[in-house]
Amino acid sequence: MFVTPVMMHMADALLSPGVGLSMILVSLFALGYSVYRIRKDHTLTEQKIPVMAVMAAFVFAAQMINFTIPGTGSSGHLCGGMILAAVLGQYPAVLSLSAVLLIQCLFFADGGLLAIGCNVFNMGLCAILVAYPLIYKPIMKRGFSNARAFVASILACEVGLQLGAFCVVLQTLLSGITALPFGAFVALMQPIHLAIGLVEGVITALVVIFIHNTRPELLDTALENKSPTVSAKRVVVILAAAVVVIGGGLSLLASSNPDGLEWSIAGVTGDTELEAQYPAAEAAGSVVNSTAVLPDYAFASDAENPLGTTVSGLVGSAFCVVLAGGAAWVISLTKKKSKAH
């Protein structure tokens, strides 16, 4: 039976305009600061651009595969912040994940436009700018081993997801969403994301181990916040092939269970979705409805056609390559021009 992947992105109905716009500003500041640090620290060269592009596509494709959380009736998926930080370094990771989430919002109606700042913060910044430098990086700087990769990845993913899940609860509380009382909502959000974080940590560790066995210099330069001085062609080719297989095929096997956020909302309200309380949320939804070419990762005219998921996986991955890679290329180009002057 065909199922459409479900994601943990916040919808506009969960937020007030004030909270949504405030979080957009916070996330824009983090993105701008990340671009500044990339330029200042010289962490971006031509060798890194294809890695950033294909890693963004990999995270997009991987997010389409929801895995079942046994005994809960829920599912989870990779958020991707930690895996991007581990491979690219924290500031390029912010750029890449922001590209992924923007594409998901505008072209697939996955996550609200008003909520885009919250989604970048909750799914990305908590992991990339907090858990990665405080947990993952110190552990991995002691020297690489498979065991250390698993410990660092699992601990950092758990902390990142717990922070992100708690931020969702706080954002709905500050938005005055009375249908989601703080106590009941947090009691469901934290445990379910503890389970999801364990799986994400294992996946992150496996990818890190693969890259270490293939091109360990990439991980070393990410930890030291430097640019790679070697070609990563083999890694890029293998990951690109994985993107095609995952996004174009394995995404069809995604669990049909509600994700951790939807499951928690349903546990409190009895439904996985809430009606919008603010006109701004409805207006933002109208914008996304007009830009989404494949809403909910399916054909708008034939949502039950499994080919829609395959096309969504391939097209979305290609969009990520263009946006993340294009942004990296522009930054690299401006760096060269500034040096020339």
Q: Give the tens place of pLDDT for each residue, 86-125.
A: 999 999 999 999 999 999 999 998 988 999 999 999 999 9
Q: Round to whole Å and give the CA distance between 150 and 199.
A: 11
Band (5; pLDDT cuts 50, 70, 90): very low
CB-CB contact of 218 with 232 (8 Å): yes
Which range of 20-34, 243-257, 293-307, 326-340 scores highest in mean pLDDT? It is 20-34
Q: What is the DSSP string of 267-292?
A: HHHSSS-----SHHHHHHHHHHHHH-
Three-state secondary-structure class, residue 145: coil
Whole-number pLDDT of residue 298: 84
**Phi and psi torsions of 67, nearest 5°:** -105, 140
pLDDT at 4 > cutoff 60: no
Global pTM reads 0.91
What is the tens place of the pLDDT at every residue in 314-324? 999 999 999 99
What is the tens place of the pLDDT at every residue in 28-45? 999 999 998 888 876 666
Band (218; pLDDT cuts 50, 70, 90): confident
Q: Is the dihedral of CA 30, 242, 46, 86 positive or negative?
A: positive
Strand 74-76, strand 67-69: pairing: antiparallel
Whole-number pLDDT of residue 127: 96
- Estimate to the nearest angstrom the gap between the alpha carbon of 240 and the chain centroid: 18
Q: Which two tokens stand for residue 338?
A: 């500034």
Band (225; pLDDT cuts 50, 70, 90): low
For residue 161, the tally of other CB atoms under 10 A from its CB is 32
Mean pLDDT, the chain, rounded, equals: 87
What is the tens place of the pLDDT at every residue in 38-94? 888 766 666 778 888 999 999 998 888 888 898 888 988 889 999 999 999 999 999
Q: Round to whole Å and give the CA distance between 320 and 99.
A: 6
- Estimate to the nearest angstrom the gap between the alpha carbon of 271 and the chain centroid: 25
CB-CB contact of 165 with 194 (8 Å): no
Three-state secondary-structure class, residue 76: strand
Q: Round to whole Å and give the CA distance between 69 and 74.
A: 6
CB-CB contact of 101 with 323 (8 Å): no
Measured N-to-C along each axis, helices 49-63 and 233-248 cross at an angle, to the nearest 10 degrees, of 20
In the chain, the domains with their CATH numbers are 12-335 (1.10.1760.20)
Residue 61 buriedness (CB in 10 A; 0-12 / 13-18 / 19+)? buried
Q: Which two tokens stand for residue 249?
A: 């095929």
For residue 234, what are the contacts with CB-CB under 8 A and spacing of at least 6? 214, 215
pLDDT at 185 > cutoff 90: yes
Whole-number pLDDT of residue 222: 76
The strand pairing partners of 302, in sequence order, are 299
Distances (CA, A) of 81 to 60, 84, 108, 233: 11, 5, 20, 23
Residue type, 171: Q
